[in-house]
Amino acid sequence: MDGLLDQFRGRIPADQLLLIEEQILNAPIHPIWIALIQGMIAGITINAIAGFGEEYGWRGLLYSETGHSGFWKTSLLTGLIWGIWHSPIILYGHNYPDHPVIGVLMMTIWCLLLAPVFTYIRFKSRSVIAASILHGTLNGTVGMAVMTVSGGSDLTRGMTGLSGFIVLAIVNLILIPLVQKEKELWELRFNP
């Protein structure tokens, strides 16, 4: 929980911070497990409903309109628009509170790297609902990395930082042969 505690250092009195640390150490269930369970439950329920609003546009309409151009082009276009769409909230300080301007670029890169995963889930499930559940679960659990890791900045740590980019790049490398294997089916769905 060092990452979570680091966020409060200097912002709350030291005695209160010590009290929080003590409560974490004495908790019957570690807070990270509570956060995981809560994030997963929220992800498949209320967060999925909220995520559906975005996913209906990205993996619903945009997917249907651009699918004929192929998996990777669809993912690239969707990721780019998805990232830019987040600009207002990023400039307001969400995800990258210490770097809101460069945060827009970071969020766009993150969405570009994440889009193939969402496109693949949408393709395999044939449903915007599956992408909505993924979106909701991701939103519900994405902060866990920041809670557990100390050091770095909002540009380097967590899923929306450089460390998350590296993980998503690896996931995309894994997707390459999977997508290639499904290329004929993709073509049949979009270019019958």
Distance CA 90, CA 110 (A): 12
Amino acid at 111: C
Residues forming a β-bridge with 9: 12
Q: Residue 76 corresponds to which tokens in the numbers above?
A: 């690239």
Q: Do the Cβ atoms of 74 and 67 come closer than 8 Å?
A: yes
What is the CA angle 120-135-92, rounded to 5? 125
Distance CA 117, CA 75 (A): 9
- Per-residue pLDDT of the chain (192 residues), as tens digits, is 566 677 677 778 888 888 888 888 888 888 888 889 999 999 999 999 999 999 999 999 999 999 999 999 999 999 999 999 999 999 999 889 889 999 999 999 999 999 999 999 999 999 999 999 999 999 998 877 777 777 778 888 888 999 999 999 999 999 999 999 999 999 988 876
Whole-structure pTM value:
0.87
Residues forming a β-bridge with 12: 9
